[in-house]
Amino acid sequence: MRIGVVTFPGSLDDVDAQRAVRLGGSDAVPLWHGDADLKGVDAVVLPGGFSYGDYLRAGAISRFAPVMGEIIAAAQRGMPVLGICNGFQILCESHLLPGALIRNDHRRFVCRDQLLRVENNRTPWTAAYAEGQEIRIPLKNGEGGFVADAETLARIEGEGQVVARYLEVNPNGSLDDIAGVSNERGNVVGVMPHPEHAVEELTGTGTDGLGFFTSLAASVLA
Amino acid sequence: MADTASAPTRPTLDTVAVATGDPEREQPWSELGLKADEYDRIKEILGRRPTSSELAMYSVMWSEHCSYKSSKVHLRQFGEIPQETSAGKMLAGIGENAGVLDIGQGYAVTFKVESHNHPSYVEPYQGAATGVGGIVRDILAMGARPVAVMDPLRFGPLDAADTHRVLPGIVAGVGGYGNCLGLPNIGGEAVFDPTYLGNPLVNALCVGVLRHEDLHLAKASGVGNLVVLYGARTGGDGIGGVSVLASETFDETGPAKRPSVQVGDPFMEKLLIECTLELFHANVVAGIQDLGGAGLSCATSELASAGDGGMHVHLDKVPLRDSTLAPEEILMSESQERMMAVVEPADIDDFLAICAKWDVEAAVIGEVTDTGRLEIDWHGERVVDVPPRTVAHDGPVYERPFARPQWQDQLQADAAESLPRPSTGDELRATLLQLVASPNLCDKSWITDQYDRYVQGNTVLSQPDDSGMIRVDEETNLGVSVATDCNGRFAKLDPYAGAQLALAEAYRNVATGGATPLAVSDCLNFGSPEDPDVMWQFAEACRGLKDACLELGVPVTGGNVSLYNQTGETAILPTPVVAVLGVIEDVRRRTPSSFQGAGERIVLLGRTREELSGSEWAHVVHGHLGGLPPKVDLRAERGLARLLADLVGIATSAHDLSDGGLAQALAEATLVSGIGARVTLEGDAFLALFTESAARAIVTVPDYELDELAALCARHGVPMAEIGTTGGTALEVDGQFSVPLDELRAAWTATLPAALG
């Protein structure tokens, strides 16, 4: 598998995401925000960071990057796309995912080792997990509060589009403790916590995040 | 209505020709902080009065902050320490933007700690944020990729109103800037003391990694090479005292006096980092300098004096945010996120293309010359013509008077060893709970959870471990480790010993993680140098640090001095913050600080003495500060560090003993892991728990490693005592008390959230 990792101005976890892709057994292909070229990749990861400084609204400017036009079209054709943190925000701004992410309810940036429950393992990014599996991965955000209107919320809950939910502590005021969602088709997934920081025993919180980067190959082979 | 106002009347530009023809003009040298003899010296150097632009340059470059005029005579002695470490010769030393150490495998590492104290008091968020930004650019300017930051912080009492003003802003500023740069924050300190009320300390440390061949130095060499300013545009922020000149030069319709605190843009700095590293990689940089304090005045004069001796700058080519800025203001502006590079003409197109790729604005503003002069023009008229060395390096040097304070003897005679102590098990239990909940010893998650410690994916150890550790190479697992420490109360009781204890603690914290301590950077925070008492504290601290560095074989690679940290007559505790950097060949073999499993033996290493003066116990329980600090035994520190290095792979955990003594070390080792402990203490249980003797650590080993541990202790001459076993869900002291970890944790974690919300 060849998985592209996009670098926007202000991307921070792009190197980490490339490492996670490699440790997951795939080839990491760097993609540049200004090039409308996906270099023939099989899937794309939008990494965390503060693209364009998050100055207007997190993800609002990156959504218009030349590479995003290609990604939006490919996602609509079914290509797997994973957005992590800032990447999740960009996917919401691009209307590839429902809902929006707003400033944490306590108004502070928070970095913590977060327990999650994987609610939906039928996406190409979560197939390696058991449904209901509990995993601990780093969370770090200032604007991670997931919100949606009541109708949208009811729909994504009803359609099983909630991919992961916070356990023990809701770190940012997300509605229904939602930590990640997918689109209706399931190929586009956004998560606020950082699975790419949990892929080695040595660093981060262990290897609970590696499943996000091994699922793709597993789901394609299956 | 603005359009009916008359256009601002612009006085004639104060050029070199004007200055020559009008020698007697009154100049605001005093308002700019220069002394009469300093002003006379400038006139002597130039053979005429300075232009207002020259006056502005000299005034900032000869300020205490830039010239180290009060501290220089004491800092010189750090040059006596051999400039090499156990890993090899230093690749760059004191005087560069930051020292550079060889760590093997072709890698080098650079690190430095600096202060941003006064700006952070005035405007906590921006002061702290730009403190991080400034030190990161220092590291970047050496050719290194910044890989981690750390922030030693000092505040007034936790319950003081002003602490509630400055602390949340400072923490948010450190986090807001560092997080947005993608630099893991891997440690630091947060210490509370009444003397820091009105004088918070914000020290910022950055570590960078480079390949040997990527080392870049700040010099402008090669006649005809181009001088490029790139990064953010220059604005009116951070001009400080120079607004005096601005208001002299213009009438009231001119630019307003700007705030003296700079405003940071971490997004621009992130672009600047990636852009600069790509410029290095493309090999199109002949010399480089970051812009920090004193802005263009500093960058132009330092680059020119370190190179072929001449530079010609067209100041009107500097990209501006505010087109009304006067030349003096442009020269002094401390606008953030700017760098200056010297580029060969053949490389300039590539250089500018890389800047464009990263959306970073760049302008060629001058060229290197062989005139030996720094010449600056403003729309074709010469406003500066000076020998650059006189601005950058030949500032005044003061032999400030210093004398041992009259109160020092009385302070040292008032020992804490005679204070009433807890005696029963219940009293000891209550003392433990009181201490773990005290501001200096409590859990700091409220602060550190606002910092990203994971970004870049190489963080092996971070707060609450004793040291921060970063993997440098993913293939070989080479890594570096850093710790910063300073107990200001010890330094107050004896500044010579206090500085040595700060070094010893940081050195020990690096060693507990399994790394070998290599080198030192220091941030010397003191009160007013015009007070002989303070100057004595400073002189003693420098002398102590130098002697200890010689003894431990670790060079000082650079650092920073912050003086005038005082309100009225009250100076801060002398606070020589010492950062120690170490190297570890295989980070997979690092030793964590918290317990790792049940049923392991807990062993106390080092000699325990009755040393309560300056301790957290005396501070928290009695509000007392007096006596003599713990004995400094650098031989013992070195033996302990070597033992800890040999224990890599044998000890399952290692935790240094410092503030709060054995009691605090046990509390942290159990609380972080959730694994309890049962210990048996010989003799006076109170002393065993709360004395703060240096050169000590606790380690855990499986039963079968006890003999090996004993043999290694004997080899390194380190006393050892088995004191207990890990396991259970309580911290229990045999025959004295037992505290369930849940109760201990509740006390430890409640303090900062309760005070700060």
Query: Does residue B255 surpass a pLDDT of 50?
Result: no
What is the tens place of the pLDDT at every residue in B596-619?
Answer: 999 999 999 999 999 999 999 999
| Whether the predicted interface score ipTM is above 0.90 | yes
CB contact under 8 A, A110 and B449: yes
Provide the mean pLDDT of chain B. Answer: 93
Q: Which residue has the tokens 């600080």?
A: B593
Q: Report the candidate in B605, B642, B693, B613 with the shortest Cα–Cα distance to residue B507.
A: B642
* Backbone phi and psi for residue A72, each to the nearest 5 degrees, phi listed first: -65, -45
Q: Which residues pair with B366 in a beta bridge?
A: B227, B313
What is the tens place of the pLDDT at every residue in B640-683?
Answer: 999 999 999 999 999 999 999 999 999 999 999 999 999 999 99
CA gap B376, B366 in Å, rounded: 9
* Shortest distance, CA A126 to any CA of chain B (angstroms): 21
Q: Give the catalytic positions of B in this structure.
A: 65, 116
For residues B723 and B604, the answer to whether their CB atoms sit within 8 Å is yes
Q: Which of residues 16-45 of A touch B (CB under 8 A)?
A: 16, 19-20
The number of distinct structural domains making up chain A is: 1
Classify the C-alpha dihedral B220-B223-B228-B229 as positive or negative: positive
CATH topology of domain B217-392: Phosphoribosyl-aminoimidazole Synthetase; Chain A, domain 2 (3.90.650)
CA gap B184, B208 in Å, rounded: 12
Q: How distant, in Å, are the alpha carbons of B20, B98, B225 from that of B308?
A: 27, 22, 11
CB contact under 8 A, B180 and A50: yes
Peptide bond before residue B168 is cis, with ω within 30 degrees of 0: no
For residues B218 and B306, the answer to whether their CB atoms sit within 8 Å is yes
Task: List Cβ neighbours of B155 (8 Å cut-off, separation of 6 or more).
Answer: B163, B166, B167, B190, B191, B192, B196, B197, B200
**A159 interfacial to chain B (CB closer than 8 Å):** no
Query: Does residue B247 surpass a pLDDT of 70?
Result: no
What is the tens place of the pLDDT at every residue in B388-427?
Answer: 999 999 999 999 999 999 999 999 999 999 999 999 999 9
Is B562 a known ligand-binding residue? yes
Region of residue A120 (left: phi > 0; alpha: psi -120 to 50; beta: else):
beta
Query: Does residue B585 surpass a pLDDT of 60?
Result: yes
Name which of A15, A140, A200 is nearest B456 (Cβ-Cβ): A15
> Of A44-48, B51-55, B219-223, which gets the smallest average pLDDT?
B219-223
What domain range is A10 assigned to? Answer: 2-221
Q: How confident is the model at residue B249 (pLDDT cuts 50, 70, 90)?
A: very low
Query: Does residue B260 surpass a pLDDT of 70?
Result: no
Q: How distant, in Å, are the alpha carbons of A140, A198, B113, B183, B349 from that of B459?
A: 15, 11, 19, 10, 38
* Shortest distance, CA B225 to any CA of chain A (angstroms): 30
B314-340 average pLDDT score: 94
**Taking CA atoms, what residue in B is nearest to A110?**
B450
CATH number of residue A173's parent domain: 3.40.50.880
Q: How confident is the model at residue B65 (pLDDT cuts 50, 70, 90)?
A: confident
Percent of chain B with pLDDT over 90: 85
CB contact under 8 A, A203 and B452: no
Helices (H), chain A: 14-23, 66-76, 86-93, 150-158, 211-221
For residues B363 and B355, the answer to whether their CB atoms sit within 8 Å is no
Q: State the pLDDT at residue A145.
A: 97
Listed by start position, the domains of chain B span: 217-392
CB contact under 8 A, B452 and A112: no
**Reading across the β-sheet that carries A43-46, which strands appear in turn?**
A27-32, A2-7, A43-46, A81-84, A188-191, A178-182, A162-166, A110-118, A134-141
Q: State the pLDDT at residue B245.
A: 52
Per-residue pLDDT of chain A (222 residues; tens, 9 = 90+): 999 999 999 999 999 999 999 999 999 999 999 999 999 999 999 999 999 888 888 889 999 999 999 999 999 999 999 999 999 999 999 999 999 999 999 999 999 999 999 999 999 999 999 999 999 999 999 999 999 999 999 999 999 999 999 999 999 999 999 999 999 999 999 999 999 999 999 998 899 999 999 998 876 554
CB contact under 8 A, A10 and B265: no
Q: How distant, in Å, are the alpha carbons of B316, B430, B743 from that of B436?
A: 59, 10, 11
Q: Which residue has the tokens 């914000």?
A: B202
Please list every residue in chain B whose beta carbon sits closer than 8 Å to the beta carbon of residue A108. 172, 450
**A186 interfacial to chain B (CB closer than 8 Å):** no
Q: How confident is the model at residue B293 (pLDDT cuts 50, 70, 90)?
A: confident
Residue type, A144: G
Pairing relationship of beta strands A27-32 and B459-461 according to DSSP bridges:
unpaired
**Taking CA atoms, what residue in B is nearest to A14?**
B456
CB contact under 8 A, B454 and A108: no
Q: How distant, in Å, are the alpha carbons of A19, A74, A199 from that of A28?
A: 8, 18, 15
Is B742 a known ligand-binding residue? no
